[in-house]
Every structure is written in C-alpha cells, then in structure tokens.
C-alpha cells in the first residue's frame, strides 16, 4: 500500500511540473513569443501531461445576395451553390488538445501535441512534435557550449515561426492566448518538418529556419520553371525573423517589434494559409450544405497560394501598465503575401492588416476587454467564365473575458464581418455575418 501511494504521489508531482523552456498552455503563456533562454538543473527524466478544452455557444446570423426580406431562399433537397443554411443558436462541437512535455536530458526537451477532437478532424490526430535543445551535453566541445548559451534549436515538426500573430491565435482546444473568439481572416499557421535556430542577443532575437514547406510530406518532385510535377527538385521553405523585445520605464512599458518572412520556390501543396487541422470558432457562417462544401473554416479566407509563395509580416506589440489594476495592450499586424497555385503561371497578391487593443483589468489581469479590426484584400485568379477580381473582407470584433483561475477562462464576443468585391453567383456576394459567441475553456 505504501509503495502504491508513493507511486501515485510521484505521478502527481511529475504531472504538475512545468518546464520554463517550453511555453505554458495556461494563462502564464499569454504574450509569450519565442520561449526565453533560461537555465535549469537536470535531475532526471520528467514528463508532464497537459490538456486544453474549449466549448463554444454560437448566436450568429449571416446573409448574402440570395437572402430576401422574407428570410432565406434555401432548399434542403437541392441547395444552390450560393444559398446559405439558416442558422440557429446552439453549442458547437467541443475541441480538445493533449500535450506531452518531457525533459529528456540536461537542456533537452520534447514537446509532443495531439488534437483529440476538432471541427475539421473529429478523431484524434497528431499535430506534431519536436526536440528542443537549449544545451547539447552529448557534444563535448567548449565552443558548442558557448554557442548554446545564446541559442535554442528545434528539430522536428513544429509551428512555422513566421510572424508573431501565431503566438496569439486559438489552436483547437487551446484558446487561452487569444483575447478574441477567432484568428485572423487570413490565418497564418502550419506545422512543417525542419529545423529552427533562435539566437538570443540581449533584447534581440534572430530566428532562422528551414522546413520541407509542407504540412503533409510528399515525395513528388516539383519543376518550378515549367510549373508542373516533373523531374525537378523538392523546394524547402526558408523562414527568417528579427525581433526586439524590451521593458522600459521601470517595467511599466513593454515594446516588441518584429519583422519576418517566409519563402518557397514551389511546393506540391503549401498550406501556410490553410494548415489548421482544427477549425474556426465562428460556427456555421457563410456555409452552403450542397455537395463539395464544408464548414470547418467559417469566416476565414485562404488565398490558395499552394505552390510558389513569398510573404512578409511586421508586428508591433505594446503593453503599458501605469497602475497595478490596469494594463493597455496593443498588437498590430501588417502582412503582404504573393504566390500562386500549381495551376497558375503568374503570382497574385494578398494584403492583410489587423489591430488589437486590449484592456487588462485587475491586479492579476484576470479580466479583459478588447477590440479588433481586421481587413484583407486578395487578388483572385480567373476561373472559367469568371474574370479575375479583388476580394475584400473586413471584420470588427468586440470581446470581454474573465480568467477565473490561471486554468479556467470564459469570454464573449460580438463580431461583424462583411464581404465586398465578390462576383455575382459567389456565396460571398454581398455577404456578411454578425452576432454573439461565448466560449468556456480549460487549460493545464
């Protein structure tokens, strides 16, 4: 009995451990970007099991050019391509993630993540996993030890570190980092296989990474000259970032500014703007239940740059805390992308801007109120009889939330999103949606 009790107590101690070198999944991970370089004492193999769960209640409505004054013109038996499904208020599918974090050796960590349930994949899927090296004790050279004093290296399948917006997005059941219900209209997120090096030089961080440029690896060779699958070579993706992060005015003001870029000369199927395997938190909007349609990514827009892609992002994060009970936080994103699909010879452009303003209230910042403005302009190629055009989407969101503990959170949001520039017959022609969403989340 004593041995069994000791074993159970040991499991609880291990499960409750945290590794400062890996980003916490609870409230402590908010406004953390590249994980800081910290020292640690290795006392043996340790494993932490964590999870994140979110439940959303949706009260949204939508309309487009097919909507009449009498309501929806929707035929369930034979829906037209641009008609919208009438919406009712209800709970959406809950989403959940599982995390396994381990300290394998002195300065060597494993981060392994699974999607247990999500809108896009209802069954369990492996998101990815990587080794993180803050030290390399297996290389007995002094110059390696000197380099690793300032360097963090990741190897495996991990979140593409392009821009800073992906550090603030919702990811399936993990919604703690996001003060709003949803991610950007053009959502920059994918996991790719490769290696990343973060060099910490005082207040500066330099990031360089090389990946395979694909979420789902494929051995097809790409000929980027003739733009066909042919006897060419597989093209990697190159990622770079420079960030400055400093606290000023006796720590009352934090300033982080960063610029980053992502480039691949060609890909079998690049998914930087469509790599989410979980789904949107705007349930059911702008949806048609006809053949070939889906609802996983409602409210988002993928420009379809699945082959050649070059994109840059600039971010500015400011947090000013003049008094103990109030902090003012802003986060700005400016993005310009250019790319094409495998069926196109010429590149197209997409430009995105987003501005968040957050008020964090209380001594421990357990309450927040936020406003976000997000706009996207994207060129769309000619298809069939439809000429090329420029699509424009604008979103305004107002949110409020409460962290009851560092592991329990609730938030509510009002959103208004409008579509402009889409041709007649397109489901987004004169489209818009608005309404309330509420969400409860647990993360540990």
Per-residue pLDDT reduced to its tens digit, 60-116: 999 998 876 555 556 666 667 788 888 899 999 899 999 999 999 999 999 999 999
* Arithmetic mean of pLDDT, 201-207: 97
pLDDT digits (tens, 9 = 90+) for 319-334: 999 999 999 999 999 9
Per-residue model confidence (pLDDT) at position 383: 87
Residue 159 burial class via C-beta count within 10 angstroms: exposed 0-12, middle 13-18, buried 19 and up: buried
Give the pLDDT confidence of 273-314 residue by residue, as tens digits: 999 999 999 999 998 876 555 678 999 999 999 989 999 999
Q: Which residue has the higher pLDDT, 181 or 80?
A: 181
Residue 158 has pLDDT above 90, yes or no: yes
| Residue 34: pLDDT over 80 | yes
Q: Are 92 and 173 in contact (CB under 8 A)?
A: no
Q: 229: pLDDT confidence band, cut at 50, 70 and 90?
A: very low
CB atoms within 10 A of CB 14: 14
Look-up: residue for tokens 């042919």?
230
Which whole-number Å values give the CA distances from 316 to 193, 261, 438, in the listed order? 28, 15, 28
Region 136-156: mean pLDDT is: 95
Write down the pLDDT at residue 11.
Answer: 44
From residue 358, alpha-carbon distances to 127, 183, 233 in Å are: 30, 15, 46
CA-nearest of 290, 258, 276, 352 to 75 is: 290
CB 158 within 8 A of CB 196: yes
Q: Is 146 helix (H, G, I), strand (E, B) or coil?
A: helix
User: What does pLDDT average to over the chain?
Assistant: 89
For CA atoms 196, 211, 129, 256, give the dihedral sign: positive
DSSP for 11-54 reads HHHHHT---TTS--SSGGGTT--SPP-------S-EEEEEEEEE
Q: What is the pLDDT of residue 188?
A: 96
**CA of residue 31 relative to chain centroid, distance:** 14
Question: Cβ atoms within 10 A of the Cβ of 280, count?
Answer: 23
In this predicted structure, what is the pLDDT of residue 223? 57
Contacts of 122 (CB under 8 A, 6+ apart): 93
Which token pair is 392?
Answer: 């424009």
Label residue 23 by pLDDT band (50, 70, 90): very high
Q: Which two tokens stand for residue 166?
A: 């992906």
Residue 232 has pLDDT above 60, yes or no: no
Q: In this predicted structure, what is the pLDDT of residue 226? A: 46
pTM of the shown model: 0.91
**Which pLDDT score is estimated for 266?**
84
Specify the residue for token string 């993706």.
237
Q: Which residue has the higher pLDDT, 14 or 206?
A: 206
pLDDT at 402 over 80: yes
In which band, very low, low, confident or very high, does the pLDDT at 227 lie, cut at 50, 70 and 90?
A: very low
Question: d(Cα 21, Cα 29) in Å, to the nearest integer?
Answer: 11
Lowest-pLDDT choice from 197-206, 208-217, 274-283:
208-217
Under 8 Å between Cβ of 245 and 89: no
Is residue 319 within 8 A of residue 336, CB to CB? The reply is no
C-beta contacts of 1-8 below 8 A and 24+ residues apart:
none
pLDDT number for residue 7: 42
Contact in structure between 438 and 57 (CB atoms under 8 Å): yes
Rounded CA separation 89/48 (Å)? 38
Mean pLDDT along residues 396-409: 98
Contacts of 6 (CB under 8 A, 6+ apart): none
pLDDT at 69: 52
Average pLDDT over residues 208-223: 80
> What whole-number distance in Å separates Cα of residue 236 and Cα of residue 239?
10
Q: Determine the Cα–Cα distance for residues 436 and 217; give it in Å rounded to an integer.
A: 38
Closest CA to 350 of 379, 387, 381, 310: 379
Predicted local confidence at residue 186, as pLDDT: 98
Q: Report yes or no: 379 and 345 within 8 Å, Cβ to Cβ.
A: no
Please give the pLDDT value at position 43. Answer: 86
CB-based contacts of 84: which residues, under 8 Å, 6+ apart?
Answer: 62, 63, 64, 66, 67, 72, 74, 286, 287, 288, 427
- Determine phi and psi for 166, rounding to 5 degrees: -70, -15
Q: Which residues of 83-122 are buried (b: 16+ CB within 10 A; e: fewer)?
A: bbbebeeeebeebbbbbebbbebebbbbbbbbbbbbbbee
CA distance 315 to 375: 15
Please give the pLDDT value at position 291: 53
């Amino acid at each position: 009995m004593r041995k069994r009790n000791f074993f159970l107590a040991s499991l609880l101690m291990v499960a409750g451990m945290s590794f400062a070198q890996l980003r916490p999944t609870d409230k402590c991970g908010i406004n953390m970007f590249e994980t800081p370089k910290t020292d640690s004492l290795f006392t043996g193999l340790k494993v932490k099991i964590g999870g994140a769960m979110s439940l959303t209640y949706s009260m949204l409505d939508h309309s487009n050019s097919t909507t009449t004054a009498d309501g929806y013109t929707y035929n369930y038996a034979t829906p037209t391509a641009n008609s919208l499904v009438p919406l009712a208020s209800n709970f959406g599918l809950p989403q959940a993630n599982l995390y396994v974090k381990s300290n394998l050796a002195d300065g060597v960590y494993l981060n392994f993540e699974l999607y247990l349930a999500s809108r896009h994949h209802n069954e369990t899927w492996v998101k990815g996993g990587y080794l993180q090296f803050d030290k390399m004790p297996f290389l007995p050279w002094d110059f390696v030890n000197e380099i690793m004093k300032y360097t963090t290296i990741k190897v495996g399948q991990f979140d593409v570190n392009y821009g800073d917006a992906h550090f603030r997005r919702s990811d399936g059941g993990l919604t703690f980092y996001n003060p709003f219900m949803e991610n950007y209209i053009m959502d920059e997120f994918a996991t790719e296989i490769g290696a990343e090096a973060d060099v910490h030089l005082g207040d500066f961080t330099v990031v360089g990474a090389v990946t395979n440029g694909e979420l789902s690896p494929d051995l097809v060779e790409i000929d980027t000259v003739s733009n066909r699958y042919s006897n060419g070579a597989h093209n990697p993706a190159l990622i770079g970032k420079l960030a400055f992060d400093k606290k000023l005015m006796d720590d009352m003001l934090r300033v982080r500014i960063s610029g980053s870029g992502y480039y691949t000369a060609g890909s079998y199927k690049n998914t930087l703007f469509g790599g989410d395997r979980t789904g949107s938190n705007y349930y059911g909007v702008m949806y048609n239940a006809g053949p070939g349609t889906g609802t996983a990514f409602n409210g988002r827009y993928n420009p379809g740059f699945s082959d050649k892609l070059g994109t840059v992002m600039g971010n500015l994060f400011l947090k000013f805390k003049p008094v103990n009970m109030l902090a003012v936080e802003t986060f700005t994103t400016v993005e310009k992308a250019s790319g094409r699909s495998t069926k196109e010879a010429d590149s197209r452009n997409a430009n995105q801007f987003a501005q968040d303003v957050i008020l964090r209230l209380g001594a421990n910042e357990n309450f927040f109120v936020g406003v976000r403005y997000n706009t996207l302009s994207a060129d769309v190629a000619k298809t069939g009889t439809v000429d090329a055009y420029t699509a424009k989407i604008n979103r305004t969101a107002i949110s409020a939330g409460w962290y009851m503990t560092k592991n329990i959170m609730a938030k509510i949001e009002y959103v208004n999103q409008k579509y402009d520039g889409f041709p007649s017959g397109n489901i987004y022609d004169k489209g818009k949606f608005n309404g309330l969403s509420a969400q409860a989340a647990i993360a540990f």
